Structure 1
């Protein structure tokens, strides 16, 4: 990946709807060259998709939490499948340490959160933390400098 690819990725991360013409101006390449590079980045799996960022609080889900779940070993894959089907779960990571899973969830009310926690408690122990602020919002990973 060269400096042009890194500029393309940075611009797409900032605005995935940018036109090839505008991207070409920013990166100082032709629009066909941009299209070729983006196609290669997609084909090699560097770019995995294009998404709209949605603020759950403005979409009617003002309560954001992180929930750690310590899963019983025998139930792990069954639990994962159940969690994948819970619309309140925005993200789920399998983590090291005492907890098996870390989930980011969004709900509309405290009773909804209580119901979700009760559902998760059937799979193991939970620890819930309310998110009060995101001082570092989701961002693109730092790309290594050219050698």
Structure 2
């Protein structure tokens, strides 16, 4: 479980993954050592899985983003996932519960390329049917801060100190 300080560290990194330890510590009102120890713990515990740049796909030649749902033969799940992983246009694969078994997020150069990609996906052993949906715009990009703040609202700020600007919760009036 994470606390509010962890949530703020993660949120700041999500906003700017290139922020320095000293700057992060200053913004959050804690020591550099605290930030370093927290980051190491968050990585060791598998909370932070890595850092990646956010890329404008259209600027690198993938002008079309699509979500492709797949209905598959459940006994072939591993084969289908391996087949999707082998396709460079596949950005992410999620296994789902519901009518469709898999959701694949893809980036492609054109609608013609989507047709070629869809044909390749249907050719993977175990794929029964695909349905494609195109992304027209993304008004809310992937974000973490609101969810983390909600999940840690009652968690407290660190082990021994209140959040900056808050009274010490252990102090008595």
TM over 0.5: yes
Mapped pair 1:17 → 2:18: yes
For 1:27 and 1:139, the matched residues in 2 are separated by: 20
TM-score by length of 1: 0.94
Mapped pair 1:4 → 2:12: no
- Please list, as runs of the form range in 1=range in 2, the aligned pairs for 1:9-48 lying within 5 A after superposition: 9-48=10-49
Aligned structure 1 segments of 4 or more residues deviating by more than 4 angstroms: none
For 1:2 and 1:90, the matched residues in 2 are separated by: 31
Per-residue CA deviation, residues 121-143 of structure 1 (Å, 9 max, x unaligned), is 23221111111011221111612
SS, match of residue 54 in structure 2: coil
Q: Which residue of 1 aligns with 2:142?
A: 138
For 1:12 and 1:100, the matched residues in 2 are separated by: 32
SS, match of residue 48 in structure 1: coil
Aligned residues: 147
Q: Which structure has the larger Rg?
A: 2
For 1:146 and 1:38, the matched residues in 2 are separated by: 21
SS, match of residue 69 in structure 1: strand
- Please list, as runs of the form range in 1=range in 2, the aligned pairs for 1:107-118 lying within 5 A after superposition: 107-118=108-119
Q: Which has the higher contact order (CA 8 A, sep 6+)?
A: 2
